[in-house]
Amino acid sequence: MTINCKGELIDFSTPKVMGVLNITPDSFYDGGRYTNDKELLNQTEKMLTEGATFIDVGAYSSKPGATHISEDEELKRIIPAITAILKEFPKTIISIDTFRSNIAKETIANGAALINDISGGTLDEKMFETIAMLKVPYILMHIKGTPQNMQKNPTYENITTELISFFADQIFKLHQLQIKDMVIDVGFGFGKTIEHNYELLKNLKLFKNLDVPILAGVSRKSMLYKPLGLSPKEALNATTSANTIALLNGANILRVHDVKEAVEAINIVNLLN
């Protein structure tokens, strides 16, 4: 399994790491931490050195109940960040965390390589046709609702079968548009209870039947720190535990705040093969 990022084939015969770079003031773990070029570039360099294949840049906070911002504000935050990163580290494969097709268009034009959509095409009806036009890899995540309301009593009959059905439908639509390079993300914490999240983690291997790479994004999330009575800052050990389970159940990409530890988890799991 591979995806083509600006002519470079990324091979998932061994799992890869995506480092999170939030340039939002209010993200749940690292909000407001990377507000100038120096901090931004230091963190990018750290993640690349530690083994990140992708740097996922997000300018719209999607934590539960997050403040909605305009497209102009999102662009104002994200374009200078892409420019700064590519000037300093030209070979960086930048993923853009956005659900808006206009942001996708502008960021790819400015050198980003792939789009990571938390809504899997459900919050902007033009997203799929935009991806088809841009011819870039697309990560489609599942969310129930919007970041503003997703955690208000999310309910499912059977979350695993409902999500497999959702992805099968979306993948079919993408294939109709000749989009081949795609990755799925079950969306841990996006319109799911703690119980839902663990059911998905346990059943992740069932999503392999969709025959596309799987991204797991559990890093420092409340599904880990709440049951343990911790804060996001204290949830690194729990993150590594959950990442290891995800890898054993077929995850191809780990989306994380802590790259070094994720790379180590991959190296240990690879020793089992």
Looking at 63, 77, 192, 255, which residue is catalytic? Answer: 255
Q: Which tokens belong to 52?
A: 């990140």
In the residue annotation, 221 being an active-site residue is answered as: yes
| 171: Cα within 13 Å, side-chain hemisphere | 19
User: How do 2-5 and 8-11 pair as beta strands?
Assistant: antiparallel
CA distances from 163 to 99, 200, 230 (A): 18, 9, 29
In the residue annotation, 100 being an active-site residue is answered as: no
Sequence-separated (6 or more) residues with CB below 8 Å from residue 9: 2, 3
Looking at 77, 100, 220, 221, which residue is catalytic? Answer: 221
Which parts of the chain fold into alpha helices (H)? Answer: 37-50, 71-88, 101-109, 127-134, 159-176, 194-202, 222-228, 236-248, 259-270
CA distances from 234 to 21, 115, 217, 226, 240 (A): 19, 30, 17, 11, 12
Sequence-separated (6 or more) residues with CB below 8 Å from residue 63: 26, 27, 28, 147
Backbone phi, then psi, for 179, in 5-degree steps? -90, 120
d(CA 194, CA 192): 7
Which positions are catalytic? Answer: 221, 255
